[in-house]
């Protein structure tokens, strides 16, 4: 065995792979999450009204917002977009059935499902789905109610009338 300081184990503190150091390992950049302010919401909404939706990576530079383009996109699509139902508004039974039909046909494609559900964001749809599944599991109810099951299995968009 070699003495301390030899070829084995002579690394400086904080540089071992177990401590996040070592070859090829970069320190992680961490950003503190913070809530959006009403002023930031207003700036983002004004930008979208003036320039339209898209090119999200350009939004922070042109508005001066200290946010990423991805953060701006997420905020717009899930919170500020006109026509969105408030998060506090529960899904109706018809919306639940429609969500079940869409999920049976599309799986976890939340963007595509939300596009078919008027006034709901992909985030609302996804969160409600997992809440709904959990509720069904706790109560022993089938996740897909009979009225959401397709008539012809090979054609998932044709459904029974209820």
Segment 25-59, tens digit of pLDDT: 666 667 678 899 999 999 999 999 999 998 999 99
Residue 79 CA from chain centroid, whole number: 12
Burial of 101 (0-12, 13-18, 19+ CB in 10 A): buried
In this structure, what DSSP letter does residue 159 have? B
The answer to whether 15 touches 21, Cβ cutoff 8 Å, is: yes
**How confident is the model at residue 147, as a pLDDT?**
83
The DSSP letter of residue 24 is T
Q: Tell which wins on pLDDT, 71 or 86.
A: 71
Fold of 38-80: Arc Repressor Mutant, subunit A (1.10.10)
Which run of H or E residues covers position 104? Answer: helix 93-106
In a 3-state reduction of DSSP, which class is residue 101? helix
> Any idea which of 7-11, 31-35, 69-73, 124-128 has the lowest mean pLDDT?
7-11
**Count of CB atoms within 10 A of residue 19's CB?**
12
Task: Look at residue 17 and tell me whether its pLDDT is greater than 60.
Answer: no
Question: Residue 23 class from Cβ within 10 Å (0-12 exposed, 13-18 middle, 19+ buried)?
Answer: exposed
List the domain boundaries for the chain.
38-80, 93-148
Residue closest to 102 by CA, chosen among 21, 9, 38, 94:
94
Residues 55, 57, 63, 65: is their CA dihedral positive or negative? Answer: positive
Report CA-CA distances (Å) from 87 to 47, 71, 128.
Answer: 23, 18, 10
* pTM, full prediction: 0.63
Please give the Cα distance from 109 to 106 (Å, whole number): 6
What mean pLDDT, rounded, does the chain reach?
A: 82
């Amino acid at each position: 065995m070699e003495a301390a300081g030899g070829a084995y184990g002579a690394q400086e503190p904080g540089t071992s792979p177990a401590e996040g150091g070592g070859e090829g390992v970069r320190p992680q950049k961490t950003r503190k999450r913070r809530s959006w302010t009403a002023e930031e919401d207003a700036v983002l909404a004004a930008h979208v009204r003036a320039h339209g939706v898209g090119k999200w990576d350009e939004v922070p530079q042109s508005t001066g917002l200290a946010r990423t383009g991805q953060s701006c996109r997420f905020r717009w699509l899930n919170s500020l977009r006109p026509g969105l139902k408030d998060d506090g508004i529960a899904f109706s039974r018809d919306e639940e059935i429609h969500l079940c039909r869409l999920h049976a046909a599309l799986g976890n494609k939340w963007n595509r499902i939300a596009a078919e559900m008027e006034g709901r964001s992909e985030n609302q749809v996804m969160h409600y789905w997992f809440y709904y599944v959990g509720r069904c599991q706790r109560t022993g109810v089938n996740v897909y109610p009979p009225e959401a099951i397709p008539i012809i299995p090979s054609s998932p968009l044709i459904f029974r009338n209820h």
